[in-house]
């Protein structure tokens, strides 16, 4: 019942299904039972109404699966320390589903994962019960495409790709989603559906990597990369703008391509584009630190002992998700070099930073004046950009948030 599960549960409940959210996180379950949303894109009013109507409930008890006609698995799929897929959450969830799978049940995996997971990891487990796929129970993969903070493309109107293990499995899953979602796109197998999601996210990672490399080159050639992209984007065909930045963040783009390159390696294939994009994107936080060094240097200051304010901890604008955010790497690297670092983010009032609790610094003129450098890492709309330039001694802008503003204080990516 996270960023993916809760919005989906709400959609199904709004279609009139009686939906039970299962989560190991008791706090989340308690909040849902009390009718409260903890996901920014899901209004508490919606959750409250559905809970009151008896259409949405939540529990930590998997035995509710005994009576469920369908189950969507939306658990995390992170990387291990060695940057290999960590499918342990899927395995744990499937273990529970296996205990309660029954004739007629539809099981759909929504978590992003490598091609083959549904067929190789889930199917044998469920068939071990003696039930037969396509006859007794139905199994499909359907990747989630939710884009947190996107007001236009929501769960309901974003086309949903579905691939079942058998044609009947696909039909069953398509029918379920069609009850609420506007467009459902059937494909021939779970592997195709798994690969679709990885293509989408790898496409973003590689293009962001390309444009980050171009940004580094443009800096050398003293060309404004933002102006280049803006002009190139006037081409009405064959071009799509991507923008450089301080590095990748979130649960998807920095992680998912490695699911694909891992699978490629396992089959003796080297996915070079993916690895290269990962490498270039992974260098960006350190490049931002270099820009801070340059900004301080211009004023005769060293990093050691300087005070730096990082603006934006969320990995993208106007959301509260800090997972994999490059702001952490930037702050850590600056601290390692002896800077005193604080952050400001209206969406993230508090956070844990390498074992320490930190709170967001309010952007008052007096506070801003205390820092030797401000780094715009996330372009939240609500940041007072005019004041940031006015009161900061220097500003590193990694997002072109200060577009059109001229000041010798500004160092741009
Ligand atoms: N966040 C996104 O924007 C996004 C978009 C598309 C796809 N995805 C994919 O969807 C999946 C879920 O991502 P998310 O962002 O919703 O994660 P999340 O961390 O927000 O939510 C996952 C939830 O699963 C719960 N959980 C963990 N193990 C469990 C278990 N065994 N049984 C029941 N609940 C369990 C966790 O407590 C948590 O509440 C991932 O594979 C991710 O790659 C995420």
Q: What tens digit of pLDDT does each residue of 291-324 get? A: 999 999 999 999 999 999 999 999 999 999 999 9
d(C-alpha 199, C-alpha 286), whole Å: 27
> What's the CA-to-centroid distance between 98 and ligand 1, angstroms?
19
Look at residue 327 and tell me whether its pLDDT is greater than 90.
yes
Q: Decide: residue 406, CB within 10 A, 0-12 exposed, 13-18 middle, 19+ buried.
A: exposed
Ligand 1 neighbours (beta carbon < 6 A): 1-5, 22-25, 28, 74-77, 89, 92-93, 111-112, 144-146, 148, 251-252
Residues for the chain: how many in total? 413
Q: Please compute the mean of the pLDDT values over residues 81-87 and round it to a whole number.
A: 90
**pLDDT of res. 81:** 83
Look at residue 399 and tell me whether its pLDDT is greater than 90.
yes
Instruction: Return the best residue to mutate from 1, 63, 71, 75 for the ligand 1 pocket (most ligand atoms within 8 A of CB).
Output: 75
Look at residue 82 and tell me whether its pLDDT is greater than 90.
no
**pTM reported for the whole predicted model:** 0.92
**pLDDT of res. 83:** 84
d(C-alpha 219, C-alpha 111), whole Å: 38
**pLDDT of res. 148:** 87
Chain segment 179-203, per-residue pLDDT in tens: 999 999 999 999 999 999 999 999 9
Question: Does residue 64 contact residue 94 with C-beta atoms inside 8 Å?
Answer: no
Confidence of residue 155 (pLDDT cuts 50, 70, 90): very high
Q: What's the mean pLDDT when you consider all of the chain?
A: 96
> What's the CA-to-centroid distance between 250 and ligand 1, angstroms?
12
> What's the CA-to-centroid distance between 67 and ligand 1, angstroms?
23
H helix runs in 299-358, sequence order: 326-336
Q: Please compute the mean of the pLDDT values over residues 273-280 and round it to a whole number.
A: 93
Instruction: Reduce the DSSP state of residue 308 to 3 states and report it.
Output: strand
d(C-alpha 93, C-alpha 98), whole Å: 9
Instruction: Return the best residue to mutate from 144, 150, 194, 204 for the ligand 1 pocket (most ligand atoms within 8 A of CB).
Output: 144
Look at residue 146 and tell me whether its pLDDT is greater than 90.
no
Residue 402 φ/ψ, nearest 5 degrees = -100, 25
**pLDDT of res. 366:** 96
Of all residues in the chain, what percent carry a pLDDT higher than 70?
100
Look at residue 149 and tell me whether its pLDDT is greater than 90.
no
**pLDDT of res. 33:** 97
Instruction: Reduce the DSSP state of residue 337 to 3 states and report it.
Output: coil
> What's the CA-to-centroid distance between 90 and ligand 1, angstroms?
10
């Amino acid at each position: 019942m996270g960023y993916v599960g809760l919005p989906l549960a709400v959609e199904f409940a709004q279609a009139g299904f009686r939906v039970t959210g299962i989560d190991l996180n008791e706090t989340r379950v308690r909040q849902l039972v009390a009718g409260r949303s903890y996901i920014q894109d899901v209004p508490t009013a919606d959750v409250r109404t559905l809970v009151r109507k008896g259409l949405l409930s939540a529990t930590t008890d998997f035995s509710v699966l005994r009576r469920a006609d369908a189950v969507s698995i939306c658990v995390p799929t992170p990387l291990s320390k060695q940057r290999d897929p960590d499918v342990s959450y899927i395995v744990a969830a499937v273990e529970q589903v296996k205990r309660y799978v029954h004739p007629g049940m539809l099981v759909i995996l929504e978590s992003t994962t490598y091609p083959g997971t549904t067929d190789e990891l889930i199917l044998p487990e469920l068939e071990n019960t003696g039930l037969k796929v396509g006859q007794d129970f139905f199994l499909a993969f359907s990747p989630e495409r939710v884009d947190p903070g996107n007001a236009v493309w929501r769960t309901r109107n974003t086309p949903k790709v579905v691939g079942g293990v058998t044609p009947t499995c696909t039909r069953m899953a398509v029918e379920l989603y069609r009850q609420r979602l506007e467009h459902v796109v059937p494909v021939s197998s779970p592997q195709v559906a798994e690969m679709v999601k990885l293509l989408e996210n790898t496409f973003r990672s590689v293009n962001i990597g390309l444009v980050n490399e171009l940004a580094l080159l443009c800096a050398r050639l003293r060309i404004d990369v933002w102006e280049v992209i803006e002009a190139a984007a006037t081409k009405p065909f064959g071009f799509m703008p991507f923008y450089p930045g301080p590095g990748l963040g979130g649960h998807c783009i920095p992680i998912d391509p490695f699911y694909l390159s891992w699978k490629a390696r396992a089959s003796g294939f080297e996915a070079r584009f993916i690895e290269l994009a990962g490498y270039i994107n992974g260098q960006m936080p350190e490049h931002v630190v270099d820009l801070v060094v340059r900004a301080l240097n211009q004023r005769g200051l060293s990093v050691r002992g300087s005070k730096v304010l990082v603006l934006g901890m969320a990995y993208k604008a106007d959301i509260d998700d800090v997972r994999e955010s490059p702001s952490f790497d930037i702050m850590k690297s600056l601290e390692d070099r002896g800077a005193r670092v604080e952050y400001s983010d209206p969406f993230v009032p508090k956070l844990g930073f390498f074992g320490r609790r930190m709170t967001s610094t309010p952007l008052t003129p007096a506070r801003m004046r205390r820092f030797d450098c401000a780094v715009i890492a996330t372009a939240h709309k609500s940041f007072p950009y005019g004041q940031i330039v006015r009161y900061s001694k220097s500003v590193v802008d990694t997002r072109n948030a200060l577009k059109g503003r001229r000041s010798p204080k500004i160092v741009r990516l």
